[in-house]
Amino acid sequence: MTEIRQLALRAREAARALARTSTAVRDGALVAMADALRRETALILAANALDMEAAGTAGTPAPLLDRLMLDAARIDGIAAAVEALAREVDPIGEVVSGHRMPNGIWLQQVRVPLGVVAMIYEARPNVTADAAALCVKTGNAAVLRGGSLAIHSCLAISDVLAEAATAAGLPAHSIQSITSTDRAATDELMSLHGLIDVLIPRGGAGLIRNCVENSRVPVIETGVGNCHIYVHNGADLDMALPIVINAKCQRPGVCNAAESLLVDESVCETHLPPILRALAAAGVELHGDERTRSLGAVEVVPATEEDWGTEYLDMKMSVKVVSGLGEAIEHINTYGTKHSEAIITGDYEAAKRFLDEVDAAAVYVNASTRFTDGGEFGLGAEIGISTQKLHARGPMGLVALTSTKYLAMGDGQVRP
């Protein structure tokens, strides 16, 4: 038997035992895990130094190095997030629905853990702790697969957490990491239908596509966001401009940042030049259609078909003049990734139609797309943002890591 299959079998065993643990034991384990992270700061930083050194040698770009880098303050922040989870309400055991059947059977639908949750992610060491803690909170066994760039940091954090969890009374192997960074390990993990209940990839579009195309384990797609801001002819420029700047520039590398700007033809001469100038002044590289370029407000690179479908995750934005609401909705439903989409308008009917017809996890009127986030939406912790329609859509909180089962208590009923 291969190492990955053995690990998955151990996870399955741990999941069965975890499903029987109490809320108090799991919350206690979270506090112990946070304490352990703080106590073992030096060990984690030593592992992180190995990753940083290798990444530096490999010429890794600065933003990626920043995501990879840990220091005592960041580890304390990671520990605080783990600790905060202990104070969230436990979703497990909730009676979701129930009634007495006409034949007298007492039927309840109760919330239970999913079982074994696998996460594949890239060079962010904090995801190791986030994912492990969310799984502990929801009674799931965690199988973690960090990216090669962060592998020493991820394994160190995972070891510290696993040891603390076991010491606090959780079953052995509740938290496990895959040590191999070979592609073959991921491939095998994705083949373990029946042993792994769900696979959640967190990372770039390539990672997510690979999982969708090759996994036999059910996948929850997360996070690819080609988000649009549509400035309708009923928009007030004083409202539109700060929203566009915020959605594009406040944190361009995240999935809920805007990548594309659509502006109605009838207001493109009044509204678009000041917006383009503000974007350019903020350092945004603009890729526009012919009409946008003809305005001559600032330098605009000609947009290609590819631009409309691209999630830049960078200080770049595509810009298109549209004939009106219908074309804007059509463009968004064609090129968007069903993440977050916004209209800026003062027109009631346009707002209502945009909310009704745009097919996305979150649809906004007169607000920045940057609010699509578990914390902002009041979900507490967040495991990712689902861009698919099955199981969970939009920011996924603790409930997304649960399933339900029916309990039927009878006294001899048989089916007539």
Q: Which residues are near a second copy by CB under 8 A? A: 16, 19-20, 99, 101, 103, 105, 107, 109, 112, 114-115, 193, 197-198, 212-213, 216, 218-220, 239, 242-243, 245-247, 250, 333, 351, 355-357, 359-368, 370-372, 376-378, 388-391, 393-394, 403-415
Closest by CA to 173, choosing from 26, 293, 15, 370, is: 15
Strand, helix or coil for residue 264: strand
Burial readout 62-91 (b: 16 or more C-beta within 10 A, e: otherwise): eebeebbbbeeebbeebbebbbebbebebb
- Comparing CB distances to a second copy, the nearer of 161 and 379 is 379
- Comparing CB distances to a second copy, the nearer of 109 and 148 is 109
- Comparing CB distances to a second copy, the nearer of 316 and 339 is 339
Beta carbon of residue 165, minimum distance to a second copy (angstroms, whole number): 21
Beta carbon of residue 299, minimum distance to a second copy (angstroms, whole number): 26
Residues 174/141, Cβ–Cβ less than 8 Å: yes
Beta carbon of residue 365, minimum distance to a second copy (angstroms, whole number): 5
- Comparing CB distances to a second copy, the nearer of 52 and 396 is 396
Residues 146/127, Cβ–Cβ less than 8 Å: yes
- Comparing CB distances to a second copy, the nearer of 72 and 355 is 355
Q: Which residues pair with 302 in a beta bridge?
A: 288
Residue 405: CB atoms within 10 A of its CB come to 10
- Comparing CB distances to a second copy, the nearer of 70 and 219 is 219
Beta carbon of residue 63, minimum distance to a second copy (angstroms, whole number): 19
- Comparing CB distances to a second copy, the nearer of 75 and 190 is 190
Residues 138/113, Cβ–Cβ less than 8 Å: yes
Q: Which residues pair with 143 in a beta bridge?
A: 118, 176
Residues 86/30, Cβ–Cβ less than 8 Å: yes
Beta carbon of residue 96, minimum distance to a second copy (angstroms, whole number): 11
Beta carbon of residue 405, minimum distance to a second copy (angstroms, whole number): 6
Beta carbon of residue 357, minimum distance to a second copy (angstroms, whole number): 6
DSSP 90: P
DSSP 189: H
Beta-carbon contacts of 190 under 8 Å, excluding residues fewer than 6 positions away, are 199, 211, 214, 215, 216, 217
- Comparing CB distances to a second copy, the nearer of 25 and 301 is 25
Instruction: Measure the CA–CA gap between 327 and 321, rounded to whole angstroms.
Output: 10
Beta carbon of residue 87, minimum distance to a second copy (angstroms, whole number): 19
Instruction: Measure the CA–CA gap between 42 and 40, rounded to whole angstroms.
Output: 6
Beta carbon of residue 372, minimum distance to a second copy (angstroms, whole number): 8
- Comparing CB distances to a second copy, the nearer of 233 and 369 is 369
Angle of helix 125-137 relative to helix 151-167, nearest 10 degrees, comes to 30
Residue 160: CB atoms within 10 A of its CB come to 24
Strand, helix or coil for residue 251: coil
